[in-house]
C-alpha cells in the first residue's frame, strides 16, 4: 500500500475510529450510518489539512466513499501517481 493511501486511511480512522483498516477501505456514505453531514465535513477538512488541498465545495458531495477520495487524490494535478 502506498504512503498516500496510508495517510488517507489515517484520516478516515480519525473520523471513524471504530473501523478496522480493511473496513475503512470499503466505507461509503451509503453503507455507513455514521457517515453523516458532520462526519463528512470533518472528513473533508481532515483530508484537505493532511494533503494541503483546497477541494472545490461543488465536488465535495461526490467524495462519498474511501474509494472516491482515493481516486480524487490520484489526479495528476494533485501529485497523485
Partner 1 sequence: MKLVEALELCRRPVEDAAPEFRIFLACGFTPLHLATFLSAALRVALPESRVVVETGLFGDLIGSIDRAGLSSAGSAVVVIEWGDLDPRLAIRTLGGWKPAALSDIVDSATEAGARLDKTLIKLSRRMPTVLCMPTLPLPPLFATRPAQASSFELNLRRAVASLAASLSECEGLRIANTQLLNEASPEGERYDVKSDVVTGFPYALPHASVMGDQLAGLIHNRQPKKGLITDLDDTLWAGIVGEDGVDGVSWSLDRGHMHGLYQQFVASLAGAGVLVGVASKNEAAVVKRAFDRSDLLLSRNDIFPFETQWSRKSESVERILKTWNVGADSVVFVDDSPMEVAEVKAAFPQMECIVFPKKDYPGIWNLLRHLRDVFGKPFLTDEDAIRLHSLRATGASQGVLESAGRSSDDFLQASEACVIFEPIQPAGDARAFELVNKTNQFNLNGKRFNEAEWQSIVRDPAAVRLSVSYKDKYGPLGKIAVVLGRILGPTFQVNAWVLSCRAFSRRIEHLCLKYLFETLGVDEIEFDYQVTARNGPLQQFFTELLGRPAVPPIALSREQFTAHVPELFHRVEGTIHV
Binding site for partner 1 (CB under 8 A): 10-11, 14-15, 17, 41-42, 45-46, 49-50, 54, 57, 60
How many other CB atoms are there within 10 angstroms of residue 49's CB atom? 10
Return the biggest CA–CA distance within the chain.
33
Which one, 39 or 80, has the nearer CB to partner 1? Answer: 39
3-class DSSP state for residue 36? coil
Q: How far is CA 5 from CA 25, 33, 34, 36, 64, in A?
A: 9, 23, 21, 23, 16
Shortest Å, Cβ 81 to partner 1: 21
Which one, 21 or 76, has the nearer CB to partner 1? Answer: 21
Which one, 25 or 39, has the nearer CB to partner 1? Answer: 39
Shortest Å, Cβ 37 to partner 1: 9
Residue (of 21, 78, 64) closest to 11 by Cα position: 21
Shortest Å, Cβ 11 to partner 1: 6
Amino acid at each position: 500500500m502506498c504512503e498516500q493511501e496510508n495517510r488517507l486511511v489515517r484520516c478516515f480512522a480519525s473520523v471513524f475510529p471504530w473501523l478496522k483498516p480493511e473496513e475503512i477501505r470499503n466505507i461509503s456514505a451509503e453503507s455507513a450510518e455514521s457517515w453523516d453531514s458532520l462526519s463528512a465535513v470533518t472528513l473533508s477538512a481532515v483530508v484537505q489539512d493532511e494533503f494541503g488541498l483546497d477541494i472545490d465545495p461543488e465536488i465535495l458531495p461526490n467524495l462519498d466513499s474511501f474509494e472516491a477520495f482515493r481516486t480524487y487524490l490520484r489526479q495528476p494535478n494533485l501529485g497523485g501517481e
